[in-house]
Structure 1
Amino acid sequence: MQEYSALSVLVIDPNQHMRSGLHNMLTQLGITRIEHAVSAGTAIRHLEKKSFDLILCEYDLGSEQGQDGQQLLEDLRHHKLILPSAIFIMLTTEGVYSKVVSAAELTPTDYILKPFTVDVLAQRIARAVDRRSALLPVHQMTEQGRMREAILASEVSAAANPRYATECGRLRAEALMALGEMAQAEAIYREILEVRPLGWAQLGLARCQKEQGQLPAALETLQRLVDENPKFMAAYDMTASIQQSLGQPAEARAALEAAVSISPHMVRRLRHLGQVAFQSGDLEAAEKTFKQVVAKSKYSEFRDPEDHVNLVRTLVEKGDASAAANVLRDLERSARPGAATEVCKAYSAALVQGLNGKDEAARTELGNALRALGDARSISSAVKMGLAQNCLQQGMDEQGMELLDALAGDPASGVSEADALAVYERAGRAELAQNEGDSVERYLDGLVRQAAAYSGQGDQRGAIQVLQVAVRRRPENAGLMSALASAILRLMLDSGWETALGEQCAAILVRMRKTDPQHPMLSALSSQYVTLRGKQ
């Protein structure tokens, strides 16, 4: 058993007797680097400090908040506390296994059904170590952001280890999606589904369809997935997201409510449901849901001060100043210190002061929030838009417009010009949106003329840099995207293929296809890209 001696192991089980039993089994296998966690919270604190090669986790964690081992795994993956290459083995009963094995998008490396012997444990660890070794080159390339090399490594691993061919296909498809090559990823998922109707492959197919703008087809794929796996939670989440994009808030809410009825303890899903209810104007439902989120997050290692903000906003919208003030006090008492918390506290205080008619105090708090925002890295676009709206309502026009301008100009924010316009309208300041829009259009026209001048002088890189700024400001403008893609292709035609620019061009063409599939330049640019890509 000496080959296991280098493994570091974290055992997660609330039962002291079970932890001791597992510890003894592991020592019999020559494993001595063992640490214990009695709950999801203690496990997270261990994993924040160090990584482990192997995690053995009891499915039933006995948490007061109802979190089970599967939800812990999803949290760990979502917050990137464990690497994709980490071995995560779930310990569970046969009855639970039959219910969860086909329903999870993020599956453990393996399940072990209780009771089990040390020989069974040894066999499963051996199998997991073998799998990790086979897939490790792919994971390493992915973790380093080297997606082209990850794709090649997955092909090599599949040829050398046919038993892991399906998993290699999954990793290859995910790498292609990261590169924006949705059609190629879709082909892989369809190939996998021809062999087995795997839930994660159906979900991957739906993601590809969504990213290519095929929203009705994506919904059909997700409906088939839910029909076959009614407890596949990620399918409900994506369905709701697509329905929101289609302007179907009632349908999105129904999908999330169905998911919550099956799995009531996943905070991210409850948060999404509360946001949908708030946006649709159902303040009673939003209040109820956001209260659940705050309560369930209270003792979580991943609690987010924005949850209190969401609840304060809802109560302020209802006109309940007393309840909103109580939530603000709870935020001040319970939140961890940090810039994000300061933003949330000041913004919440501004909302309460505004409801109480204390506009000067509200403006002071908004100023505090904006100052803290400069040091905060984790504030969502939704909170920033709410902050901008409140600034506009309080007459802080310059600050509100500046914040919205920065959001609309940042592709990573997910905020479009239409979203920014809606904020102006909700704030009752539509006239500012018109002025801002005229100013931005003049600015963009100037950028396009500057790019044309650079191009005429033979400075394609200068033209590309200018057009990149314009596209960031108008990420949905197919004309600007076309000009940028054309400039990139012209440079690479003259100077040779450049991976970073090639990947950027591919992503632009995917966005063009989603935004304006009938754009007159799309076909020619796509053909030119494929030709250049084939020559590299």
Structure 2
Amino acid sequence: MPDYSDLSVLIVDPNPGMRANLHNMLSQCSITRIEYAVSAGTAIRHLGARSFDVILCEYDLGSGSGDSGQDGQQLLEDLRHHKLISDWTIFIILTSEGVYSKVMSAAELTPTDYVLKPFTTDVLMQRIVKAIEKRAIFAPIHLLIAQGKLREAIDTCTELQGANPRHAGDFNRLRAELHLRLGDLRDAELLYQGILMTRPVGWAHLGLAQCQFQQQRYEEAQQTLDNVIEHNSQLMAAYDLLARVHEAMGQKVQAKKVLEDAVAISPHMVRRLRHLGEVAYDSGDLGMAEKAFKQVVAKAKYSEFRDPEDHVNLVRALVRKGDANQASGVIRDLERSMRASAGTEVCKAFSSALLMDLMGEENEAAAQLSTAARAVNMARGLSNQLKMGLVYSCLQHQLDQEASGVMLNMMHDSESGVTMEQAVGVFEKAGRHDLARSMGERISSEVQDLVSDAAAKSAQGEHRAAITTLNSALRRTPGNVPVLVATIQAMLQQLDERGWETPLGEQAAHLLERARRLDPAHPSLEILAGQYNATQRKYGISTTA
């Protein structure tokens, strides 16, 4: 057997006897770089500090160590969701045969392997060796993905599949997922359909539904997901996507019912409970919203991913129900249990303002809103939903300067995705046409300044810097055709003078298509299309715009 002494292993198991047994098995194979986690929470802390080659995780983690009741599968979902493990980390779930079929049916985020108890040292090492060999085959693809070279990763999948036909299913799945990430929805859909013709697996149905959903073919997506759930009621990701489909169709009550069904089957996933609370609140079911948000706060109490916004959501539901006593208790818990930060300060002040409004203390509410608005500039990770709610509350208290400041903070945040249209819409919804006009004028002025700055950079040959500046302008006004045209021009100059770059070329083509949809008769579009095709020919690119 090859030497695996350099492998690092994390054992996640609450049972000290099982941890010792696993340690002994690994030691017999010269694997000594071993660490332990007794719960999901401690595993997350370990993985936040360093990476491991192999994770051996007990499925039944229990909740005796103050955890939220997560099992091994749910821990894997959290680790993937928060990107605490890489695509090539080997994650093996150890489980009894009695729960194997249930685990397999629910595993939309599949681990590397399952090992059924009881097992021998030879069996465990055979599985680890098999996983290492498979990781080596896929390593070139994962490296390209880590470098952001998704197109090259797709091509490499195709090349390696021919030499490794026994992994054809894994290569096809990875190709489809990469096309989906790139927005090549038709290509991804065709791949998923091809997979389903030979192997009707749940993840392929989910991928197909995701393609349908992103193409706004909501009724088809609903039919696909209804069929998936009918044949596999344990596939939890199907419920999550189906709820989003119903929301997109304006069917809040149906979305809530789907999430309630999912929570009844799998009650410990905090993200799903949070989504249920949000949908229940929006649909007017305050009892369910309160129940869901209480569970979120309780289950996340010992989590590494605890979010102070969960307390705000619970306070909102309680305030809307008129329950000042419970809302006050939630705010006290927020103050006691969350570490001090700008985000926590925003959430505490905003929650207090909501409570003060309920109690008729308008001056105190206004003071708390001012505190929250000031802290927003230093906070990280707050959702657009919370910030929009803060803006609206400030407007209700005539805190115009604070409302405008929070909105501009969102507009200047490159990760928020808030557009001028959305920003102006919040003020219009609040009946503040004067502020809406002022906000629109200010954003338009900022965009014009960015365009002028980009033009100066382009004139100096700094096309890359100009593109960055223009992308910032586009984030504010994605439907602004003159800004689109200027951005495409800067991209084409960069491509023509510095050489073809596939991601930048694809972005230019995407923006050109957006401009065509917005203004088909714009006089610059045909010229830009000609420049795009000429640059492709110059560098031997066969595709056309």
TM-score by length of structure 2 reads 0.86
Which position in structure 1 is the counterpart of 2:163? 160
Is the alpha carbon distance of 1:223 and 1:485 closer, same or farther for their aligned partners in structure 2, counting shifts above 3 Å? Answer: farther
Partner Cα separation in structure 2 for residue 86 and residue 200 of structure 1: 20
Which position in structure 2 is the counterpart of 1:26? 26
1:59 aligns with 2:53: no
Is the alpha carbon distance of 1:259 and 1:119 closer, same or farther for their aligned partners in structure 2, counting shifts above 3 Å? Answer: same
Cα deviation 1:375-423 (Å, max 9, x = unaligned) = 3221111111111112212211122134334536767425456654564
Partner Cα separation in structure 1 for residue 50 and residue 195 of structure 2: 35
Partner Cα separation in structure 1 for residue 228 and residue 415 of structure 2: 29
Which position in structure 1 is the counterpart of 2:243? 240
For residues 187-202 of structure 1, what are the structure 2 equivalents within 5 Å? 187-202=190-205
Is the alpha carbon distance of 1:222 and 1:412 closer, same or farther for their aligned partners in structure 2, counting shifts above 3 Å? Answer: farther
Which position in structure 2 is the counterpart of 1:474? 477
Partner Cα separation in structure 1 for residue 25 and residue 445 of structure 2: 68
Q: Which of 108, 112, 116 is matched with 2:115 structurally?
A: 112
Is the alpha carbon distance of 1:184 and 1:519 closer, same or farther for their aligned partners in structure 2, counting shifts above 3 Å? Answer: farther
Is the alpha carbon distance of 1:2 and 1:501 closer, same or farther for their aligned partners in structure 2, counting shifts above 3 Å? Answer: closer
The offset of 1:76, in angstroms, is 0.9
1:363 aligns with 2:366: yes
1:68 aligns with 2:71: yes
1:148 aligns with 2:151: yes
* 485-494 vs 345-354, which moves further: 485-494
Cα deviation 1:204-223 (Å, max 9, x = unaligned) = 22223333333333333323
Which position in structure 1 is the counterpart of 2:15? 15
Partner Cα separation in structure 2 for residue 259 and residue 182 of structure 1: 27
Partner Cα separation in structure 1 for residue 460 and residue 52 of structure 2: 53
Which position in structure 1 is the counterpart of 2:306? 303
Is the alpha carbon distance of 1:211 and 1:509 closer, same or farther for their aligned partners in structure 2, counting shifts above 3 Å? Answer: farther
The offset of 1:494, in angstroms, is 5.2
The offset of 1:517, in angstroms, is 9.7
Which position in structure 2 is the counterpart of 1:94? 97
Which position in structure 2 is the counterpart of 1:269? 272
Count of matched residue positions in the alignment of Structure 1 and Structure 2: 532
* 229-238 vs 410-419, which moves further: 410-419
SS in 1 for 2:111: coil
Cα deviation 1:288-315 (Å, max 9, x = unaligned) = 2111111111122221111001111222
SS in 2 for 1:413: coil
Cα deviation 1:361-388 (Å, max 9, x = unaligned) = 3333333323332232211111111111
What amino acid is aligned across from residue 221 of structure 1 in structure 2?
A: T
Q: RMSD between aligned alpha carbons?
A: 3.4
Identity, in percent, stands at 51
Partner Cα separation in structure 2 for residue 47 and residue 205 of structure 1: 32
Cα deviation 1:127-184 (Å, max 9, x = unaligned) = 1111111112211221232323322332333233222232223333333333333323
What amino acid is aligned across from residue 193 of structure 1 in structure 2?
A: L
What amino acid is aligned across from residue 433 of structure 2 in structure 1?
A: E
For residues 509-528 of structure 1, what are the structure 2 equivalents within 5 Å? none
SS in 1 for 2:105: coil
* 105-114 vs 407-416, which moves further: 407-416
Partner Cα separation in structure 1 for residue 244 and residue 511 of structure 2: 22
Partner Cα separation in structure 2 for residue 104 and residue 209 of structure 1: 22
SS in 2 for 1:184: helix
Is the alpha carbon distance of 1:288 and 1:5 closer, same or farther for their aligned partners in structure 2, counting shifts above 3 Å? Answer: same
* 144-153 vs 432-441, which moves further: 432-441
Which position in structure 2 is the counterpart of 1:320? 323
SS in 2 for 1:3: coil
Partner Cα separation in structure 1 for residue 339 and residue 443 of structure 2: 42
SS in 2 for 1:88: strand
Is the alpha carbon distance of 1:517 and 1:396 closer, same or farther for their aligned partners in structure 2, counting shifts above 3 Å? Answer: closer
Which position in structure 2 is the counterpart of 1:282? 285
Is the alpha carbon distance of 1:244 and 1:83 closer, same or farther for their aligned partners in structure 2, counting shifts above 3 Å? Answer: same
Is the alpha carbon distance of 1:422 and 1:274 closer, same or farther for their aligned partners in structure 2, counting shifts above 3 Å? Answer: farther
Structure 1 gaps of 5+ residues are none
The offset of 1:262, in angstroms, is 1.2
Partner Cα separation in structure 1 for residue 255 and residue 138 of structure 2: 37
The offset of 1:334, in angstroms, is 0.5
Is the alpha carbon distance of 1:483 and 1:217 closer, same or farther for their aligned partners in structure 2, counting shifts above 3 Å? Answer: farther
1:351 aligns with 2:354: yes
1:182 aligns with 2:185: yes
Which position in structure 2 is the counterpart of 1:133? 136
Structure 2 gaps of 5+ residues are none
The offset of 1:230, in angstroms, is 1.7
The offset of 1:533, in angstroms, is 5.7
What amino acid is aligned across from residue 435 of structure 1 in structure 2?
A: R
The offset of 1:339, in angstroms, is 2.4
Higher relative contact order, structure no. (Cα contacts within 8 Å, ≥ 6 residues apart): 1
* 392-401 vs 214-223, which moves further: 214-223
1:435 aligns with 2:437: yes
Is the alpha carbon distance of 1:183 and 1:459 closer, same or farther for their aligned partners in structure 2, counting shifts above 3 Å? Answer: farther
SS in 2 for 1:238: helix
What amino acid is aligned across from residue 106 of structure 1 in structure 2?
A: L
Is the alpha carbon distance of 1:116 and 1:517 closer, same or farther for their aligned partners in structure 2, counting shifts above 3 Å? Answer: farther
For residues 384-399 of structure 1, what are the structure 2 equivalents within 5 Å? 384-399=387-402
The offset of 1:432, in angstroms, is 4.1
TM-score by length of structure 1 reads 0.87
What amino acid is aligned across from residue 390 of structure 1 in structure 2?
A: S
1:44 aligns with 2:52: no
The offset of 1:457, in angstroms, is 9.1
Is the alpha carbon distance of 1:405 and 1:217 closer, same or farther for their aligned partners in structure 2, counting shifts above 3 Å? Answer: farther
8 Å contact kept, 1:408–1:474: no
SS in 2 for 1:102: helix
The offset of 1:512, in angstroms, is 7.4
Partner Cα separation in structure 2 for residue 433 and residue 249 of structure 1: 31
